[in-house]
Amino acid sequence: MKKITTNKQTVIESVAKMVADKNAVRSFLKGKASIESLKEKGIKLANPL
Amino acid sequence: MPIPYNYYFNEDSQFFYFSTKNVIEYRIAFIQDETFSAVSGFEINNVFQIVIEKVTDEIERFDAKVSSTIQAIITAFFINSQNAMIYVCDDKDKKGIKRFNTFNRWYKNSGLKTAIIKKDNIITCFSNDQNFIIYSSLFISS
């Protein structure tokens, strides 16, 4: 089995981004931010259904 | 379970939406989540973060059809068994645990427990002399 070594800072940054992305999308859904602003942040919305 | 409201997908803005009998609008978006890829160093696809937002400001009285509609969307999401879903609550307003427990309660009562596994992870982060708590759940097909 491969052992995955992860930098703690990478984990913190990734988790922090996850939360920041959510807050940005909440603003978008409320009409307070544009879809372009999400794209600038690298946030990709999808229809996975 | 109450009959869900009809829900629709906005192609231009890439979110789902529905309106309740009290004219309260909800919007649901799925973000392509790359957290696992970033952390593991491997490309892990089909992971999405769900964001649910009541966009109408008025306070709505309890409406069981709201949760059944969200459940219908999540059930449709898991028709593709390769999909995985993340739900996160941050705690900046100190209400993270309340939202987390509400979502847990919904999951327990949803009837999805046999088809969808939920793994919770409460993460305490220390960064820039600040600590913050993130309540997260990962949902995968069983």
Domain boundaries, chain B: 8-141
Mean pLDDT of all residues in B17-28? 96
Mutate to test the interface with A, among B51, B80, B89 (most CBs of A within 10 A): B51
Instruction: Give the model confidence (pLDDT) of B95-139 as tens digits.
Output: 888 889 988 988 888 888 889 999 998 888 776 667 778 889 999
How many other β-carbons are positioned within 10 Å of the β-carbon of residue A38?
Answer: 21
Residues, chain B? 142
Q: What is the mean pLDDT of residues B51-65?
A: 92
Q: Does domain B8-141 have CATH number 3.40.630?
A: yes
pLDDT tens for chain A, 49 residues long, are 555 556 677 777 888 888 899 999 999 999 999 999 999 999 999 999 9
- Give percent of chain B with pLDDT exceeding 70: 98
Q: Tell me whether residues A25 and B31 touch, CB distance under 8 A.
A: yes
Q: Which runs of consecutive H residues, i.e. helices, occur in A1-49? A: 8-29, 35-40
Query: From the CA of A10, how many Å to the nearest CA of chain B?
Result: 6
Residue A22 to residue B83, Cβ atoms within 8 A:
no
